[in-house]
Chain A
Amino acid sequence: MMRLPAIVLAVLLGSAAAAPWLAPYAPDRIDLSSRRAAPTMGHLFGTDELGRDVLTRVLFGARISLAVGLLSALVAGASGVVIGGIAGYAGGAVDAVLMRITDGILAVPRLPLLMIVSVVLRPSVPLLILLIGLAGWMETARVVRAEFLSLGGRGFVESARAAGSGHLRVLSRHLLPNAAQAIAVSLTLAVARGILLESALSFFGVGVRPPQASWGNMLYQAQASLGTEPWLALAPGLFILVTTVSVSFAGDRLAGASRET
């Protein structure tokens, strides 16, 4: 039970990476003779309205969805560490201004904002990663700022300064390593959020655009035929759920929140 989320995530990442070899068909192979087929041995998750294999598309979709989740979290984490780090280390007026900006952006609802920007820009996948990342640095920035503020007043940081350590050394040797766990927890949250945001944007038709498959846009296409082809909606949704739940569990464990006494 302890390692289950990590194992699930490793299997998901591995199968996404190996999609071209694992997938039973080509992702865009259209087979008009077996359109809208219910799951069978030949097509474990059934086929869609063009006869494309759903399992294949889920596997290829995993590459996009997981890449968006992981890379957008990296963008969010890096910008959050820089902004929060500057605020927490500099303090004073710099801190006040940066935190007001952070509060301001946090107040703008994320999904609607991203939907508007995506409608305007019609982003490619790399741009989508950048946008989702840039919409998600605020939480990490707050965490890093709080960590730096509380660490900054501690004895070992003061003694390092007294011993003549410069800003860079204090930051890289004393502050960042001690904030690492908190940063890691906020990164896992960002991964889950990135995957959910990508799927929601694609579900509304403004994220990853067909024919490229992502879990979100597969659900967008499935919505029209819920009554007749429910398998189209089940597979991608279950993959999103399993991924985000595993990431959340991993983050929860990292935070030690579930450690029972």
Chain B
Amino acid sequence: MTRLLVRRFIHAVPLLFFISALVFLLIHAAPGGPLAMYLANPNVRPEDIERLRRALGLDRSLWLQYWSWLAAFVRGDWGFSFSDGRPVVSRVFERLPATIELMGVSIVCAIALTIPVGTWSAVRRGQWFDRLTSVASLVGVSLPGFWFGLVLQMVFAIGLGWLPSSGRSTPGAEDLLSHLLHLVMPTTVLAFVLAAGWSRYLRGSMIETVHQPFIAAARARGVPASRIVMVHALRNALAPLIAIVTVDAALLVSGAVVTESVFAWPGLGSLFTEALARRDYTVLMALLMLSSVAVVVFNVAGDLLHAALDPRVAA
């Protein structure tokens, strides 16, 4: 376990450096570079731009600039938003709770859907339930999420009027019920897409597990079929699923860009599209950096969790 931890850590560190260099170069590749905003403004004189360039250290070597940018990023100094001048850190952290809420609820719903669907389609392999869910999961992974969101809005918000079309709460009516109603549609979109991938995965590992000797042994001892499925097989097939769920949870930061924007859910995803519309590069870069780091960290966490649940992996 410790060896795995060390090995994964040694892998992750150069990866993080590489990603940060990639993101840094992207800012510099933008036309005008970090001063693009001032260059476009006719009221800013060329000599002022030159002074700014020196004051901000943009005349230093790229290597030095990268180093000080990275050092500042690690310390939590992510610069200031171009659009309202506030620190990027506070703009990101005020949006974080909404994203965590939406992703948390969606992940729980997706797991609640995945376990019965994945298990039952493995048990009844090749029969109608398996075929139906196979088609549904292929549709789920091929579905344009934003369009699914638009259709839900047309049917349930505009057509039937059952659900609020967007936002996290209705001003003036901030009770729990209204809050939950706002969650229904974005959660449906995210949970469906997540469960589509996960249930295929669980089905595969369940089918693999039931062919193993210990299942045959349990059957020979006379353990009832339902207990074999629920306790013996599922427990073993669950470890890789938990690893995948952890890895996908990294999408916390970026995966909901589309869904959050369609439903105007005030999380990191819609912060990203707002920043995109205003060319707010500091916010965009912080979010891109944050979500890439999250992917690496959650990947390591997924591996460790998998190893903790299934000692064979750690070897």
Contacts and interface: CB of A to CB of B under 8 A. Distances in A.
Interface of A: 100-101, 103-109, 111-113, 115-117, 119-120, 192, 196, 199-200, 203-204, 206, 219, 222-223, 226-227, 230, 233-234, 237, 240-241, 244-245, 247-249, 252, 258, 260-261
Contacts of B43: none
B147 A245 contact: no
A55 to B, nearest CB: 18
Given A103-B15, A120-B30, A260-B126, A204 B273 contact: yes
Contacts of A248: 138, 141-142
Contact of A104 (B22, B147, B272, B288): B22
Given A108-B19, A116-B284, A116-B288, A219 B146 contact: yes
A222 B158 CA distance: 14
The 4 closest A-B pairs by CB, nearest first: A237-B147, A109-B254, A244-B142, A104-B18
A203 to B, nearest CB: 5
Given A107-B19, A109-B255, A237-B151, A200 B276 contact: no
A196 B144 contact: yes
Nearest to A113: B288
Contacts of B14: 100
Given A100-B14, A104-B22, A116-B26, A241 B143 contact: yes
Contacts of A116: 26, 276, 284, 288
Nearest to A228: B158
26 contacts: A100-B14, A100-B15, A104-B15, A104-B18, A107-B15, A107-B295, A107-B296, A109-B254, A109-B292, A113-B288, A115-B273, A116-B288, A117-B26, A120-B29, A196-B142, A200-B144, A200-B258, A219-B150, A226-B153, A227-B158, A233-B147, A233-B154, A234-B151, A237-B144, A241-B142, A245-B139
B278 to A, nearest CB: 10
Contact of B144 (A120, A204, A226, A241): A241
Interface of B: 11, 14-15, 18-19, 22-23, 26, 29-31, 125-126, 134, 138-139, 141-144, 146-147, 150-151, 153-154, 158, 251, 253-255, 257-258, 261, 272-273, 276, 279, 284, 287-288, 291-292, 295-296, 299
Given A100-B18, A112-B287, 8 more contacts: A109-B288, A112-B284, A115-B273, A219-B150, A226-B154, A227-B154, A233-B151, A260-B125
B194 to A, nearest CB: 15
A51 B146 CA distance: 25
B292 A244 contact: no
Nearest to B141: A248
A240 B147 contact: yes
Nearest to B279: A119
A222 to B, nearest CB: 8
A204 B276 contact: yes
A107 B302 CA distance: 14
Contacts of A234: 151
A119 B276 contact: yes
A230 B144 CA distance: 17
| Dominant secondary structure of chain A at its interface with chain B | helix
A103 B143 CA distance: 25
Contacts of A199: 144, 146-147
B257 A112 contact: yes
A240 B148 CA distance: 11
Contacts of B291: 108-109, 112
Nearest to B31: A120
A100 B14 CA distance: 8
Contact of B150 (A105, A223, A245, A247): A223
Contacts of B273: 115, 204
B150 A233 contact: yes
A234 B146 CA distance: 12
A192 B143 CA distance: 10
Contacts of B23: 108
Given A107-B292, A108-B292, A200 B154 contact: no
A119 B274 CA distance: 13
Contacts of B30: 120
A112 B22 contact: no
Name which of B23, B30, B150 has the most chain A CB atoms within 10 A of its CB. Answer: B150
A235 B258 CA distance: 20
Contacts of B143: 241, 244
B302 to A, nearest CB: 13
Given A100-B18, A226-B154, A258-B134, A192 B142 contact: yes
